[in-house]
């Protein structure tokens, strides 16, 4: 489904990725682990189309990401480390904001939001302001917003960092349900127990990687 061919990226004199290649099959959960500054976030930003590599190529279903960026991004859900939830808006209002960004059909916006919030067990809090949510609930809401346009590829940058163990388990149950529906998931994590839940683990270190 995804082919990464010899991508490299530098920031001034710092090399974040050097001649990196990877192939990912549909429906896999790929874990990205490694120390700080190993290039995890850079890799995920390149795969999502947010950042362009200095060299190399990324192919999504045999289509070049750089040449078909807008088309391909419609099939990608990207959740950065600091997802932009608006604390003064309610859960419902946050979800509605992103639904409008994704240009969802107005006829199905309400039912889509309702369905996602229900499946994530946060529908009863839909009138609560996002700023008053727990860390785990904020991450559930952020993930729900990423899924409004039904992406085939989900890219998550340390989505459970700082979240309590129970909420992390609930979050991963959601990811497993998405996998069963055929969604391909790439996630970075600092937790080795989460890495063990993945189908494959890519360990980045010193601009190199180990495919475990």
With H, G, I as helix, E, B as strand and everything else as coil, classify residue 160. Answer: coil
Quick check: is 89 in a domain? yes
CATH at residue 132: 3.40.50.300
Per-residue pLDDT, 91? 95
Q: Tens digits of per-residue pLDDT, 82-137?
A: 888 999 999 999 999 999 999 998 889 999 999 999 999 999 999 999 999 999 99
Asked whether residue 121 is domain-assigned, the answer is yes
What pLDDT was estimated at residue 201? Answer: 96
Question: Chain centroid to CA 141: how far?
Answer: 13
Please report the pLDDT score of residue 37 as a whole number. Answer: 83
Q: Tell whether 72 is covered by a domain.
A: yes
Q: What is the DSSP string of 37-68?
A: TSSHHHHHHHHHTSS--SEEEEEETTEETTTT
Q: How far apart are CA 178 and CA 139, in angstroms?
A: 16
What pLDDT, in 10s, does the model give residues 151-161? 999 999 999 98
Are 19 and 190 within 8 A, CB to CB? no
In the predicted model, what is the mean pLDDT of the chain? 92
Using CB atoms within 10 Å of the CB of residue 123, give its burial: 0 to 12 exposed, 13 to 18 middle, 19+ buried.
middle
pLDDT computed for residue 116 by the predictor: 93
Q: Report the number of distinct structural domains present in the chain.
A: 1
Reported as type and span, the H/E element at residue 138 is helix 135-146
Residue 9 falls inside a structural domain: no
pLDDT tens per residue, range 55-66: 999 999 999 999
Domain that holds residue 158: 27-53+64-211
- Position 209 pLDDT exceeds 60: no
Residue 9 is encoded by which pair of tokens?
A: 């990226």
Contacts of 93 (CB under 8 A, 6+ apart): 86
Minimum mean pLDDT range among 20-29, 173-182, 191-200, 202-211: 202-211
3 in a domain, yes or no?
no
Identify the pLDDT of residue 106.
86
């Amino acid at each position: 489904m995804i082919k990464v061919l010899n991508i490299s990226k530098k920031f001034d004199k710092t090399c974040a990725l050097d001649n990196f290649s990877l192939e990912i099959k549909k429906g896999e959960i790929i874990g990205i682990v490694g120390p700080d500054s190993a290039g995890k976030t850079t890799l995920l930003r390149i795969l999502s189309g947010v950042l362009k590599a200095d060299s190399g190529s990324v192919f999504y279903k045999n289509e070049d990401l750089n040449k078909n960026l807008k088309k391909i991004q419609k099939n990608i859900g990207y959740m950065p480390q600091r997802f932009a939830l608006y604390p003064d808006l309610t859960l419902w209002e946050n979800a509605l904001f992103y639904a409008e960004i994704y240009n969802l059909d107005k006829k199905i916006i309400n039912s889509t939001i309702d369905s996602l919030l229900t499946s994530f067990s946060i529908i009863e809090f839909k009138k609560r302001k996002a700023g008053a949510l727990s860390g785990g609930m904020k991450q559930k809401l952020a993930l729900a917003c990423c899924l409004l346009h039904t992406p085939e590829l989900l890219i998550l940058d340390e989505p459970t960092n700082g979240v309590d163990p129970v909420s992390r388990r609930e979050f991963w149950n959601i990811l497993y349900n998405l996998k069963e529906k055929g969604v391909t998931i790439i996630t970075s994590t600092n937790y080795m127990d989460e890495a063990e839940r993945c189908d494959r683990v890519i360990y980045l270190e010193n601009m190199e990687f180990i495919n475990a």
